[in-house]
Amino acid sequence: MKSTEGTRHTEGATNGTTDLTLEDVKQELYNRHHPSLTFLDIEAHAKAIHRIRTLKQKHDVVMLGHNYMEPLVFGLSEKSEQGDSLGLSMYAAKTEAEYLIFNGVPFMAETAKILSPDKTVLVADKTAGCSLADNFGAEDVKAMKELYPGAPVMIYVNSYADAKAESDICCTSANAAHIAKSLPGDTVIFVPDIFFAQNLEEELKGEKRVVYPGKDNTARGAVCEVHERFTLADLVAIRESFEIPKGHSLRKLYAHWECRPDVLKEADFYGSTSQIMKDIAESVAGDGLERAFVASECELTSNLAQEFPAVQFWTACSVRCTHMAKVSLGKIATILEALDQGADLGEFEVTLDAAVIDNARAPIERMLEMSQ
């Protein structure tokens, strides 16, 4: 664990890149006063960042950055291009840009491709997986439908297009409860995340029956290998050692929906990555949040530490998503160099069958309609 206590106000990178020089880039990086960015980090990476930003501007590339990106990668995206799964899907649906680099894992980039099939959607590393998406496919959705005929299937966006294509509606952590409540009937099938399903079941108690893999059946489901690492005992220990008593108005413990149910119950607030950020922003602006721990991927906390320097954060550096971590400055630079040279982009481009795109679009669009 490490503690970060920012002391100065930070605006984040301003990415206007007209005639941007290497010195400008360095200055912006130093001006971030990021608690975990050292002199060495900045000097070692400024040149690559300068080149990426120059090429991004030259080719009018939209660069979407998930909240789990490490700070130097996250800072390549404009503020409007950063966000959680839902926010990035919404952005992908409306962008006019021809090229879209998605700094996240491939299932996220697939969603962008489905919503913007005419665009070229590129990812730094097509081999980056996700323990939820990788362990659940179209056949698993069909098995659940056979077990609960007639019940609508709500699928977490952390899934691949073929599984989405078999489902009725998608959801993210930011809208799951709202969407489930508005579906017809008294039962909803939720796949594939078992902890998420259990958390939703608790949230909808008395309103809607939630069925999911492993609940009174032997169907296959999955959990997030990152969030499952947080236990109730960890949270209790963090409360004690970092002095965040339950119900304290200025100190808060946060958890992501993918955590275990007892972890969620222990948290003072739970939500999607952006909802957690929003609550922190509101708490800072309100009574003035002084201390926080976020039970989620550790780079989310790194980015929060920059955004909210007055808050003291603890982060579990070992709780890193190895899939998200495959997105690096070097790989992003390689994509842009290939684009600049007019080289083949196949190694980076997300492609899907036209039929899969057609069938997966409806559940995603239904989710977006219900999230306006």
Q: Which of 154, 226, 264, 280 binds ligand SF4 (CB under 6 A)?
A: 226
Round to whole Å and give the CA distance between 333 and 142: 40
Stretch that binds ligand SF4, among 17-25, 137-145, 219-227, 276-284 (CB under 6 A): 219-227
Burial (CB count within 10 angstroms: exposed 0-12, middle 13-18, buried 19+), residue 106: buried
Kindly identify the residues of this chain, within the stretch 286-325, that bind ligand 13P according to CB under 6 A.
none
Binding partner of residue 323 among ligand 13P, ligand SF4, none, CB cut-off 5 to 8 Å per kind: ligand SF4
Q: Shortest distance, CB of residue 193 to ligand 13P, whole angstroms? A: 9
Binding partner of residue 131 among ligand SF4, ligand 13P, none, CB cut-off 5 to 8 Å per kind: ligand SF4
DSSP for 217-286 reads: S----B--TTGGG--HHHHHHHHHHTT--TT-SSEEEEEETTS-HHHHHHSSEEE-HHHHHHHHHHHHHT
Draw the binding track, 212-251, toward ligand 13P (x: CB under 6 A; -: no contact): ------------x---------------------------
Stretch that binds ligand SF4, among 222-230, 281-289, 348-356, 363-371 (CB under 6 A): 222-230
225 binds ligand SF4 (CB under 6 A): yes
Q: Shortest distance, CB of residue 272 to ligand 13P, whole angstroms? A: 3
- Whether residue 363 is preceded by a cis peptide bond, meaning omega within 30 degrees of 0, is no
> CB neighbours of 330 closer than 8 A, spacing ≥ 6?
48
Q: Which of 4, 82, 272, 302 binds ligand 13P (CB under 6 A)?
A: 272
What is the DSSP pairing of strand 2-5 with strand 312-315? antiparallel
Among 325, 283, 324, residue whose Cα is nearest residue 304: 283
Among 230, 79, 300, residue whose Cα is nearest residue 292: 300
Q: Which of 103, 158, 159, 359 binds ligand 13P (CB under 6 A)?
A: 158
222 binds ligand SF4 (CB under 6 A): no
With CB atoms as reference, the residue minimizing the distance to ligand SF4 is 130
56 binds ligand SF4 (CB under 6 A): no
Round to whole Å and give the CA distance between 256 and 272: 6
Burial (CB count within 10 angstroms: exposed 0-12, middle 13-18, buried 19+), residue 372: exposed
Round to whole Å and give the CA distance between 275 and 256: 9
Is 362 strand, coil or helix? Answer: helix
Q: Which of 52, 121, 130, 329 binds ligand SF4 (CB under 6 A)?
A: 130
Draw the binding track, 70-109, toward ligand 13P (x: CB under 6 A; -: no contact): --------------xx------------------------
Draw the binding track, 290-309, toward ligand SF4 (x: CB under 6 A; -: no contact): -------x------------
Give residues in contact with ligand 13P (CB under 6 A).
67, 84-85, 158, 172-173, 224, 256, 258, 272-273
